[in-house]
Chain A
Amino acid sequence: MTAISPVRRGRALRTARLVILLAVAMVFLMPVYVLVVTSFKSLSEADPSTAWSLPQAWSTEGWQAAWTALKPGLANSFKIAVTGSLISAVLGSLNGFVLSKWRFPGADAVFTLFLFGMFIPYQAVMIPLAGLLTRMELVGSISGLVLAHVVYGIPICTLIFRNYYVTIPDELIEAARVDGAGMLRTYRSIVFPVSGPAFAVTLIWQFTSLWNDFLFAVFLGAPKSWPVTVMLNNTAGSGAVAVQYSQQMASALLASLPTLVVYLLLGRFFMRGLLAGALKG
């Protein structure tokens, strides 16, 4: 064995790590490359056999067709995701505050029961849920979808806020109590003003999951309330062979743009949201 100095060995290792990470990053970006180049090909040029080559002539035909086809779905998705995530965040904040700082007997049991709701397969409630929403005359409407998302979002939103509020010193809450502040004033004057980061995490998390939802939408939606995921699946999913490839790829990108933009601009918060979702991250 030849003697290699520790410094050189360290440098070689670092280069090796960088090369591996770069290779994996390229593999991760590969589907995006195919999506982007295909979406800009003309209708006749876009084909699986030329997936890896750049467009011979850049064209926006696919994007125009995708935009026309998906416009109503994009509008529905915005309505659902924005309203749903705002209500979710408010509920999560109030619940998180009580379950961490204004606890009642049995609060832990309630919290555990909430958390289980985060993991259930929604199929296990979908059949009666559709029946319930029908009776409430909400099935197939945007409000029905928002209601479902808000209710099943309670666990994760409560969890994010609770984990965040635990870090507020109990002395602060105690001091407010001694000064005669009731629960709502304590929330308003002490807890709410420092809640910014937790609101950001929750809003981003909920916006992303509501935007990307497919299951609730197919079980509870109707053509007029279908979000973009359902419309995308109808025009570019496994059953849609008649639609041009460039339009399919442009549609997939168009449907992903809002969450990707949110992620790129606010990725730091997104990351924290992900870690909060892991309970003990």
Chain B
Amino acid sequence: MPQWLPGLLLVSPSIVAIGLFVYGLIFWNTRVALSGRHDEISPYRFDKGENFVDLWSQPSWPGAVRHALLFTAVFVGGALLLGWFLAFLMEKGIRWEGGFRAIYLFPMAVSFIASGVVWRWLMNPAPPERAVGLNQLLEKLGLGFAANDWWQNPRWGMAAMAIPAIWQMSGYVMALYLAGFRGVPEDLREAARVDGCSEWQVYRYIVFPQLRPVTLSALIILGHISLKVFDLIMAIAGKQIITYVPAIATYVEVFDRHDPANGATIATYLLLAVAVLVIPYLVWSVRADRR
């Protein structure tokens, strides 16, 4: 008996579970997506991927894709920049560092469903004379010009929807970058200073290049969270058309329109978007790990 066999046996329940629940069900879902099952009773019928084309001519779908892209751009960009900036300000040590870290990170422990309750209130679009929430605060601070209709703006609403998500996730990005900054050996920085580098040049040529892997990890993690965003929008807006995104669309197709084929097709598109982002990263990082 080879020495490794018991190891394989011990992991085999998990292999079976992942094989069935992840890969098996993805296969099954794709099969539903390729079928003509637009209600819950008709039998399976292969229809050559028509759903994948037809989806684009449905009224709500192109908007859902546009919303997801706008949300992703603002959320990922915003959380990366804010998280990086906070870590940059803290990396050399600062008074009350433990306290700051706790405050920036705690939103991560809260569900979007819970924080959505208060964000829906804060981002209320009522006009100036009866402004509430953030708009009221902005008026009081003399920044009334910045008051706006937040997520209910038909064009840029999804950018406002990204604000609670940035609030939730930038502390995490900060923690990643802080670990990155502190992983740069002090002798490296000292050597550069001895060679006559200014403090800015030390950052520019020594520290920042070392942070690239952190940026990549953060991009992947934020990116896949963003494409999948569901809870936050359900809590703040529900199933409204102006904040429609693919993840909500799957839910609506399954539960409200009772159309498994369409729901599965949207879910497959979502999976493809995430796979394009994640697979190269996984292969790269497992390989780098082995070296």
CA distance A238 to B126 in the complex (A): 16
Whether B288 is near chain A, meaning CB under 8 Å from some CB there, is yes
- The answer to whether A263 and B133 touch (CB under 8 A), given A108-B286, A127-B260, A279-B217, is no
A65, CB-defined interface residue at 8 Å = no
Residues of B105-132 at the interface with A, using a CB-CB cut-off of 8 Å, are 105-122, 124, 126, 130, 132
Q: Which of B235, B246, B271 contacts A233 (CB 8 A)?
A: B235
Q: Does B228 contact A (CB under 8 A)?
A: yes
Do the beta carbons of A275 and B271 come within 8 Å of each other? no
A47 to B136, CA, bound (A): 13
Q: Is the beta-carbon distance between B94 and A248 smaller than 8 angstroms?
A: no
Interface code B85-112, partner A: CB below 8 Å = 1, 0 otherwise?
Answer: 0100110001100011111111111111
Given contacts A104-B8, A124-B270, A214-B111, whether A48 and B26 have CB atoms under 8 Å apart is no
Judge whether A114 is part of the interface by a CB distance below 8 angstroms.
Answer: yes
Return chain B residues, CB-CB under 8 Å to A29: 103
| B278 close to A270 (CB less than 8 A) | no
A125 touches B21 (CB 8 A): yes
B231 within 8 A of A: yes
Query: In chain A, what residue has the closest Cβ to B183?
Result: A281
Asked, given contacts A28-B167, A48-B121, A232-B113, whether A281 binds B176 with beta carbons under 8 Å apart, the answer is yes
The answer to whether A17 and B89 have CB atoms under 8 Å apart is yes
Whether the Cβ atoms of A120 and B26 lie closer than 8 Å is yes
- Taking the complex as formed, is B10 at the interface, i.e. its CB lies under 8 A from any CB of chain A? yes
Residues from chain B with Cβ under 8 Å of A267 in the complex:
102, 105
Interface residue? B236 (CB, 8 A): yes
Give, as a whole number of angstroms, the nearest-CB distance from B253 to chain A.
Answer: 9
Chain A 263-281, CB-CB to B under 8 Å as 1, else 0, gives 1100100110011011111
Residues from 213 to 252 in B contacting A, C-beta threshold 8 Å? 213-214, 217-218, 220-221, 224, 227-228, 230-231, 234-238, 246-247, 250-251
**Best-surrounded residue of A29, A31, A259, A270 (most CB of chain B within 10 A):** A31
In the assembled complex, the Cα of A215 lies from the Cα of B270 at a distance in Å of: 15
Q: Does B175 contact A (CB under 8 A)?
A: yes
CB-defined contacts of B283 to chain A, threshold 8 Å: 112
Is A123 located at the chain interface by the 8 A CB criterion?
A: yes
Give the complex CA separation of A43 and B216 in angstroms. 48
Contact pick for B236, options A17, A238, A263, CB 8 Å:
A238
Q: How many residues on the B side are at the interface (Cβ–Cβ under 8 A)?
A: 105
Please measure, in the bound complex, the distance between the C-alpha atom of A66 and the C-alpha atom of B263, giving whole angstroms: 34
How many chain A residues have a CB neighbour from B under 8 Å?
Answer: 97
Flag whether A4 is at the interface (Cβ < 8 A): no
Q: Is the CB of B279 within 8 A of A116?
A: yes
Question: For the complex, what is the distance from the CA of A229 to the CA of B107, rounded to whole Å?
Answer: 16
Q: Which residues of B contact A183 (CB under 8 A)?
A: 6-7, 10
Structural contact, B4 and A124, CB atoms closer than 8 A = no
In Å, the complex CA distance between A270 and B110 comes to 13
Closest residue to A248 on the B side, CB-wise?
B117
B29 within 8 A of A: yes
Does B179 count as interface, using CB distance less than 8 angstroms?
yes
When chains A and B are docked, how far (Å) is the Cα of A275 from the Cα of B221?
A: 11
Cβ of A199 under 8 Å from chain B: no
Chain A interface main SS type: helix
Q: Which of A129, A249, A262 contacts B117 (CB 8 A)?
A: A249
| A99-B11, A151-B21, A279-B217 given; A128·B247 CB < 8 A | no
- Collect the chain A residues with CB atoms within 8 Å of residue B106's CB: 28, 260, 263-264
Indicate if A35 sits at the interface (CB-CB under 8 A).
Answer: yes
From the candidates A48, A99, A264, name the one contacting B124 in the complex (CB within 8 A).
A48
Q: Is the CB of A252 within 8 A of B117?
A: yes
Do the beta carbons of B172 and A274 come within 8 Å of each other? yes
Q: A151-B18, A214-B113 are in contact. Are A238 and B29 (CB under 8 A)?
A: no
Contacts of B94 in A (CB 8 A): 14, 17-18, 21
A107 to B286, CA, bound (A): 11
- Select the stretch in A55-63, A90-98, A138-146, A189-197 that faces chain B: A90-98
Please name all residues of chain B whose beta carbon is closer than 8 Å to the beta carbon of A47 when the two chains form the complex.
132
| CB-CB nearest in chain B for A34 | B118
| Shortest distance between the CB of B117 and any CB in chain A (Å) | 4
- Whether B74 sits at the interface, judged by CB under 8 Å, is no
| CB closest residue in chain A, given B113 | A229
Contact B110 A103 (CB under 8 A): no
- A151-182: CB near B (< 8 Å → 1, else 0) gives 11011001000000000000000000100001
Q: How far is the CB of A156 from chain B (nearest CB, A)?
A: 12
Q: How far is the CA of A182 from the CA of B124 in the complex (A)?
A: 63
- Nearest 5 CB-CB pairs, A to B? A212-B111, A48-B132, A238-B238, A104-B4, A263-B109
